[in-house]
């Protein structure tokens, strides 16, 4: 029988691979050589390795496979999922989260890995690395439970979320429930109208909607479109967008360094006001995933209009005042990256989670791995990464296939949540029934 074209190609490929791995000795006898380890990620003896590392990658000088039964261990724990690659690599999947400040030792016994000629590596492979020790953070018991849950979830599943319709409600979450029969696990509220509270239409002292969400096992998030006086000169007009028009503001964030300035006094006053509202939640045992000063490097909000330095000064002042002056240990702090802004990162000691806001206009449900990796590089993979705002929700299957394993996703309110051009009812049904997605009814009791 004549061999077909593909079979011929495969035969010659295997033949070339064999000769590549063989060599004639001085007496003319053909000798074969075992594969050699070229590099690894993490590297041997590497320090400050991220605790969010999910796999160890080994690169060899040729393609390799494993024997059918093997005993590869990390600190004595068996690693049973090893994936041979197509580019001379092995990926060892970690079935558990790494602990901070810990020395890890990977052991691959002799005669476990072999090359294309069937020759095993005859010696033990041993790699060590040490994980990063993050700055100390003290959380309330409830906030610590949330952080522990988020760390256990990260890289394994993604948390569903919705944004309040403008300020202080669960309208979009209720709509998702009506369409799918499932509530999202996270709802984000907004202090956007704090300058008008308390009034007959908005009163942030009334925490009933937040309390009800928390009592239903929902995660509570909050952000702050921080309104300051607009350029109109009218006392009751405010803006958060920076610009020269009367309905915008020229409020100067760089005055954060001048304690005698009107701007500084107003910033302190507003931070104290919001802290009072957040303290109500603390008194009720409600932790808050807190995302202030978002999208700063974009330059459209006044808190980012003067560059990275004053922004970071404001972030640090807010963190210190809320954490140490107002004792708000129920806050989990989220910094929002623009993907190209390493100079804007406040620092590991001031940030617990990093977010990215994305509004793709084409292929809106595609993987966003490129943007995920940009943020990952900025923070050296030392923080969990969430899709803190989005238009279309990425397909959860693609997320975990490609590797952009966002901690949570949260489409913006209104059309971004409800219209088919972004998400819509049918797509939400698919998302909320995906095995990678955590809905509110799947949340553990974290109280």
| pLDDT tens digits along 296-353 | 999 999 999 999 999 999 999 999 999 999 999 999 999 999 999 999 999 999 999 9
What is Dmax (Cα atoms) for the chain?
97
Pairing of strands 22-24, 30-32: antiparallel
CA 30/CA 119 separation, integer angstroms: 13
69 catalytic residue (yes or no): no
In which band, very low, low, confident or very high, does the pLDDT at 31 lie, cut at 50, 70 and 90?
low
In which band, very low, low, confident or very high, does the pLDDT at 19 lie, cut at 50, 70 and 90?
very low
Q: What is the pTM of this model?
A: 0.90
Give, for 312, the enclosing helix (H) or strand (E). helix 308-320
Peptide bond into 42 cis (omega under 30): yes
CB 296 within 8 A of CB 336: yes
389 catalytic residue (yes or no): yes
Q: Which residues contact 294 (CB under 8 A, 6 or more apart)?
A: 223, 301, 336, 355, 357, 388, 389
For each of the domains in the chain, give its residue range(s) and CATH number, in order of start: 32-131 (2.60.40.1220), 141-442 (3.20.20.80)
CA 109/CA 78 separation, integer angstroms: 12
CA distances from 390 to 152, 291, 359, 416 (A): 23, 15, 5, 8
| Tens digits of residue pLDDT in 392-420 | 999 999 999 999 999 999 999 999 999 99
Tokens 């079935």 belong to residue: 95
The 10 Å Cβ neighbour count of residue 58 is: 23
Active-site pick, 142, 295, 338, 371? 295
The answer on pLDDT for 13 being more than 60 is no
The full 3-state SS of 156-225, as one line of letters, equals: CCEEEEEECCCCCCCHHHHHHHHHHCCCECEEEEECCCHHHCCCCCCCCCCCHHHHHHHHCCCEEEEECC
In which band, very low, low, confident or very high, does the pLDDT at 4 lie, cut at 50, 70 and 90?
low
Provide mean pLDDT across the span 171-200. 97
Task: Fill in the DSSP letter of residue 350.
Answer: G
> Long-range contact list for 169-172, CB < 8 A, 24+ apart?
169/209, 170/209, 170/213, 171/413, 172/413, 172/414, 172/417, 172/418
User: 435 has which bridge partners?
Assistant: none
Active-site pick, 142, 172, 371, 389? 389
Say whether 56 sits in a helix, a strand or coil: strand
Task: Fill in the DSSP letter of residue 261.
Answer: S
Provide mean pLDDT across the span 271-275. 98
The answer on pLDDT for 20 being more than 50 is no
Pairing of strands 55-60, 37-41: antiparallel
């Amino acid at each position: 029988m004549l061999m077909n074209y593909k079979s011929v190609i495969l035969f010659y490929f295997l033949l070339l691979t064999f000769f590549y791995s063989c060599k004639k000795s001085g007496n003319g006898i053909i000798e074969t050589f075992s594969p050699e380890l070229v590099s690894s990620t993490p590297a041997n003896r590497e320090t400050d390795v991220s605790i969010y590392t999910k796999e160890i990658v080994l690169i060899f000088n040729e393609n390799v496979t494993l024997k059918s039964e093997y005993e590869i261990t990390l600190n004595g724990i068996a690693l049973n999922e090893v994936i041979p690659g197509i580019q001379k690599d092995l990926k060892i999947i970690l079935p558990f989260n790494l602990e901070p400040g810990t020395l890890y030792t990977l052991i691959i016994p002799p005669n476990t890995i072999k090359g294309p000629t069937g020759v095993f590596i005859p010696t033990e492979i041993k790699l060590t690395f040490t994980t990063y020790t993050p700055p100390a953070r003290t959380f309330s018991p409830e906030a610590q439970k949330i952080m522990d849950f988020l760390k256990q979830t990260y890289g394994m599943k993604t948390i569903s979320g919705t944004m309040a319709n403008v300020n202080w409600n669960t309208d979009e979450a209720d709509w998702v429930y009506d369409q799918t029969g499932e509530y999202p696990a996270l709802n984000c509220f907004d202090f956007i109208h704090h300058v008008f509270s308390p009034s007959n239409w908005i009163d942030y002292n009334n925490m009933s909607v937040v309390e009800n969400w928390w009592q239903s096992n929902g995660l509570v998030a909050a952000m702050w479109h921080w309104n300051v006086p607009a350029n109109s000169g009218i006392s009751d007009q405010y803006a958060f967008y920076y610009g020269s028009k009367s309905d915008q503001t020229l409020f100067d964030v760089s005055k954060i360094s001048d304690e005698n300035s009107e701007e500084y006094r107003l910033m302190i006053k507003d931070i104290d006001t919001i802290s009072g509202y957040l303290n109500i939640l603390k008194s009720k045992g409600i932790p808050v995933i807190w995302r202030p000063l978002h999208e700063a490097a974009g330059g459209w909000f006044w808190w980012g209009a003067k560059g990275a330095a004053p922004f970071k000064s404001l972030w640090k002042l807010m963190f210190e005042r809320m954490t140490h002056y107002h004792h708000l240990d129920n806050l989990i702090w989220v910094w929002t990256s623009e993907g190209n802004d390493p100079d804007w990162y406040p620092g590991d000691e001031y940030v617990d989670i990093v977010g990215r806001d994305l509004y793709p206009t084409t292929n809106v449900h595609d993987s966003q791995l490129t943007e995920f990796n940009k943020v990952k590089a900025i923070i050296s993979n030392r923080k969990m990464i969430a899709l803190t705002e989005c238009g279309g929700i990425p397909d959860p299957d693609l997320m975990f296939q490609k590797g952009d394993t966002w901690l949570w996703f949260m489409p913006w309110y209104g059309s971004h949540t409800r219209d088919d051009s972004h998400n819509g009812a049918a797509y939400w049904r698919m998302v909320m029934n995906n095995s990678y997605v955590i809905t509110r009814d799947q949340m553990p009791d974290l109280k």
